[in-house]
Structure formats: structure tokens, C-alpha cells
Amino acid sequence: LAQTAKVTVSNDSKLTISRNIYGQFAEHLGRGIYDGFWVDPKMPVKKQDRIRMDIVEALRKIKIPNLRWPGGCFADEYHWRDGIGPRVNRPKMVNTNWGGVTEDNSFGTHEFLELCKLLGCEPYISGNVGSGTVQEMSNWVEYLNFDGQSPLTAMRKLNGHPEPFNVSFWGVGNESWGCGGNMTPEYYANEFKRYATFAKDYKNAKLKKIATGPSDGDYNWTEVMMKNVGTRMWGMSLHCYTLPTGNWNDKGSATKFTEAQYFNTMKNCLRMEEFVTKHSAIMDKYDPEKKVALVVDEWGVWTNVEPGTNPGFLYQQNSLRDALVAGTTLNIFNNHCDRVKMAALAQTINVLQALVLTQKEKMLLTPTYHVFDLYKVHQDAKYLPIKLDAPDYEVNGNKIPAVNLSASQDKEGRVHLSLVNIDDHKDIVVTANMGDIKWNTVSGQILTSANVTDINTFDKPNNIKIESFNNAQKDGDKVVVKIPAHSIIVLELK
Ligand code: AHR
């Protein structure tokens, strides 16, 4: 059973898809940092210091551009001085947000920046507004970025790093409307200005300050921030999770779900289009030149935790459904690259919609990882606008568009189309009219599996993996591709 979709791709654009859309988030939460990136010295895996190198190598392969840290909610109770200096002297702390566990602060500022260096990515640090002082944040920036003599830079040298770190992406609090302090937008807008004033730019390290933004459809937050802060912020964040059921009390299972629940998940995921469009329209009113970035620095599927695991650790499996959510969401971001200049999937390792899961020394790459691998071709490529006429995917009388895609052209002139067929049963024949874009050959790669519930396990880590795809043809100027049900394809035209 096949349906058809029509696409027109144009090269009439001057926009670039920022690589920073492909960013990641790693909070001190569950087994994300501790027993994730940062392991027991005795663990029999390749390590540098205590950083797990099999994870680093996997993430280098997909070119993650930035890593957000240390939270999340954790950021607003994190005091950076507790995480520097000799590890034996560092005080322990309680992670009140995530399971009430005690952590030893052995992973702190220097360890995080060493991790970023190994990953070849830019650090994105979230400063503490909720329970920290203006001076504490100001001092952290000086410690990191000042290249002259001061008591703080002397301390940095003593701790083994004479050169400044030149951190640029700087979050001023996190979810200040909730776990970050339960503030009103009016109050937070003033707090942002106060904290931001004293978070200084240093030589070679101009801060890109990112304000707490709204969650989902809180348009009033955006309105107040744009009116009161506007272009004083480099970016404003947006947090938006996909809950399969839409209900925070029972979010649904990561692996056991019906087609109706799958449909509902995809429908909820597609709301990102509405949120990004509407927040952007408000931002356009105050900032028509689009100077302020919309930074979707927490997104992804949030399900119930895996049975038997600590509810505070947010450990969930990752199925083909997660990959379809990732492919769809990244297409939305690419198509909104005029405003969405940065994003971060929550949360890299062992937490929420992870790229990598670990079990002691074992490690697996999730279906979501493979989407980031497929889509890395879009990073810093020229955005190509598309027009799409797609059939519906219908379940129990409810409908959503069955196909979504985005397109770009890289510096070598290669064009990439990333196409997602959400429909669980029907193949879809897509005909893409490439307009003025000249090309001769097409090749492709696909990510799919028999069922949307399929997963990679520690025993079968390659159950779902990227395969080559040969079912796309040239028909004059057009490319014709039959996308199998529930699959993600990236085509290369050159
Ligand atoms: O990603 C998990 C949590 O979700 C983050 O700590 C918080 O910012 C959000 O509510």
C-alpha cells in the first residue's frame, strides 16, 4: 500500500543551518555524568582520567557541536567552587532534584571542560541564578575566561589551567519559572539583567548569554522577556518535551505501546512546529532582524522510567519511535533555522532520550544516536526551503502529516534531504522537484526496523542501525523515492 507526497526544493536562501542545532545536554542527574561520562577508576574500559573514551569516540563520530552542563534544575543549586581543586578536598553535596543522592563533586569545572576538549565541542555552561549570588556567577566567568592576573586566575593556574578556557555559551539560570526559583517573567527579566551585567566579557571570550525562556506554549513569558530584555540576550531558551500520553503522572512506557499511543507521541512531537512558530512570531515583533536566537535547549521524548530503576534517575529505553521523533524534530529546527540557532537534546547518556546507554562496561548506541549520525550532514550547510504536500497518517479518525523533511546544501555543493515517514503501515512515494539545483546522482541511507517498538539492547546492540538505501531514482530534474513505513532516510544528491 503506497501513498504519494510532492515536494519542491528551492535554493533561494541565504540562511545557514547552525551546527549548534545538534547540541546535547548533560546534567548531574542519574547516570548521565556519574557512571555515564565519568566512571569508577576501576571500570575496565578505556579512560582518560575517569572520562569514558568509548563514549567520547562515539560522540566525536556524530560531531556533537556543544554540550550543556551542569543542568537543568541541578544548575540552580550548583556552587562551582565545590567542584574545583584537589578532589579529596571537595565537599560532597545532595542532589535534591534527582533522587536525593549524595555526590562527591569529583566532576567539576575542569573535568567538564576537559570532556568538551576531548569531544571537540563547545561548552555551554548554565550559571546558578536560583540559589547563587550575582558575585558567584561573576567570579565563575572571571575564573574561566580572564587572561590576566587576579586571585581567581591564580587559583585557576594552581588547579592546572594557566590559560583561560574562553567559554562563550552562558546560561543565566534554568527554568526560572519552576525549579530555578518559581519566578514571574517580570521578576526574572530584572534578575537576568542584574546577573548578566556582572557576567563580563573578557578578551577572546565574549559571552553569548542565554536567558531562561518559556516552556511549551507559555507565550506570555516570551512576550515579557522580549519586551523587557530583547536584544540584551544572545538567546532565549525554550523547553519542550514529548510525552507519549501527554500526562506527567503517567507518561507511558518507552518500549511497550500500542499504535494509538505511537500516533499520540508523534502528534505531541509535531507540536514543536506550533511552539517554535508562535514564539518566533512574538520574537519577530520585538526583534525583526532576528538577532536573538531561540535556543531549544531541552527537548526529546520523556517516558516512564524503565521498571526497577530509580524514578529520580530518568533512565528510559530508546526505540525506533524515539528515532522518528528525533528525525521529525530536527527537521522542524532546520526549517526554522532563521530563529532556531541552537538546541540540545535531553540528555546524552543514560537519561531521558539518550544517544548512548551503558550497563557497567557495556555500551549501546540508541536509534536516536543514528539519527544524529545521519543528520550531521546538515550542520553548517546552506538551508534550502521546501514546500511539501504530504498525505495524512490516520489512526482512529485522527490525522497528522505522514511525511516531514528538510534540505540543505553543503560547502562542496552536495544536497541532502532528510525524510521521515511517520506512517506505521504505508510506504510513501515522494517526488521532489529540485528546481534550479543541478545534480546527477543520488545515494541514500536508511534507519528503520520491523516495529516502532524495536530497540537496541546490550545483547543485541546493532538491532537497529543505519543501512544503505538504493530505492531513490533520478527522473529528469526530479528525485523519486519510496520511503518505507516508519523510517528515516537521508539522500545525497551530487
Ligand atoms: O531534563 C530533566 C529536567 O527537565 C531538567 O533538569 C529541567 O530543566 C527540566 O524540567
Q: Which listed residue (103, 122, 142, 175) is catalytic?
A: 175
Q: Which of 295, 389, 284 shows the shortest CA–CA distance to 344?
A: 295
pLDDT tens digits, residue range 208-244? Answer: 999 999 999 999 999 999 999 999 999 999 999 999 9
pLDDT in tens, 18-59: 999 999 999 999 999 999 999 999 999 999 999 999 999 999
Least Cα distance to 394 among 261, 262, 263 occurs for 263
Burial of 343 (C-beta count, 10 Å sphere; 0-12/13-18/19+) = buried
Mean pLDDT of the chain: 97
- pTM over cut 0.90: yes
DSSP 350-387: TSSS-SEEEETTEEEE-HHHHHHHHHGGGTTPEEE-EE
Sorted by where each begins, the domain ranges of the chain are 2-9+384-493, 19-378
- Residue 175 CA: nearest ligand 1 atom is 8
Kindly report, residue by residue over 314-355, the tens digit of the pLDDT: 999 999 999 999 999 999 999 999 999 999 999 999 999 999
Distance CA 431, CA 429 (A): 7
Ligand 1, residue 27: give the atom nearest the CA. 6
When computed from its CA atoms, the radius of gyration of the chain, rounded to whole angstroms, is 22
Mean pLDDT of 81-93: 97
pLDDT at position 108 is 98
CATH fold label, 19-378: TIM Barrel (3.20.20)
Angle between helices 134-145 and 109-119 in degrees, nearest 10: 50
Average pLDDT in the 411-436 region? 97
Q: Which residues sit opposite 364 in a β-bridge?
A: 357
Is 175 catalytic? The answer is: yes
Over residues 389-404, the pLDDT tens digits come to 999 999 999 999 999 9
Fold of 2-9+384-493: Immunoglobulin-like (2.60.40)
* 73 C-alpha to ligand 1 centroid (Å): 6
Whole-angstrom distance, CA of residue 129 vs CA of residue 77 = 9
Number of H helices, E strands in the chain: 9, 27
The neighbour count for residue 309, using CB atoms within 10 Å, is 15
Domains 2-9+384-493 and 19-378 share a fold: no
Identity of residue 413: G
| Tens-place pLDDT, residues 96-145 | 999 999 999 999 999 999 999 999 999 999 999 999 999 999 999 999 99
3-state secondary structure 423-446: CCCCEEEEEEECCCCCCCCEEEEE
CA–CA gap between residue 315 and residue 309 (Å, rounded): 7
CB 170 within 8 A of CB 210: yes
191 is catalytic: no
ipTM tops 0.90 = yes
Model confidence at 1: pLDDT above 90:
no
- Whether 358 is in the pocket of ligand 1, judged by its Cβ within 6 Å, is no
Share of the chain above pLDDT 90, in %: 99
Q: Is 474 helix (H, G, I), strand (E, B) or coil?
A: strand
